[in-house]
Amino acid sequence: MIAIIDYDAGNIRSVEKALRFLGQEALVTKNREAILGADKVILPGVGSFGDAMGKIRQYGLERVIGEVIGKDTPFLGICLGLQLLFERSDETPGVPGLGILKGEILRIPDGEGLKIPHMGWNSLTFPNAGRLFRGISKEAYVYFVHSYYLKAADERIVTAAAEYGAYIHASVEQGNVFACQFHPEKSGDVGLQILKNFVEL
């Protein structure tokens, strides 16, 4: 069973729907025992960094997430879920993130011809090998919706990158922790393959 952490963020049900399409049992839950008992755990979501961290702390989920990762359960952050795994965000100065991975979330800089948020399809490059990208072709296109981007402290954990006014660390992998800035559940066959790779870890 795959637990999808519910902290009142948007876009959680689309992840559940994609997993069910792949034939997986998925449960959207805040329940500590259900999350800790899952085979794999996903932290999806769209919304504000500060509001999300407030909800995660309100529901006691920060400790649960730490326990899940500590027991080596495969864990996947998606979009806002990626950002929350890091230390801080320009979106909400002074609000600490989960700090599970080292790095910061920066605002995409304004640039001529660039619309912010970065919304739509963009191609990936793969600076380091990543288990989520088995069978994915070079320059594969995935779907993004974000105004802030990751700059990881250690570029060795970056398994996919994209260009949009900045060099965006689009996916990371460290031990049992995986995360994508883009939305695999909205990225067609490529995204389903990425989720399938996670499911099969």
DSSP state of 51: H
In angstroms, the CA 181 to CA 83 distance is: 8
**Catalytic residue positions, numbered:** 79, 183, 185
Amino acid at position 7, single letter: Y
Tell me which residue of 10, 177, 167 sits closest to 80, measured CA to CA. Answer: 10
- How many C-beta atoms surround the C-beta of residue 179 within 10 A? 29
For residues 115-128, one letter each, b for 16 or more C-beta atoms within 10 angstroms of the residue's C-beta and e for the rest, the string is eeebeeebebebee
For residues 21-43, one letter each, b for 16 or more C-beta atoms within 10 angstroms of the residue's C-beta and e for the rest, the string is eeebebbebbeeebbeebebbbb
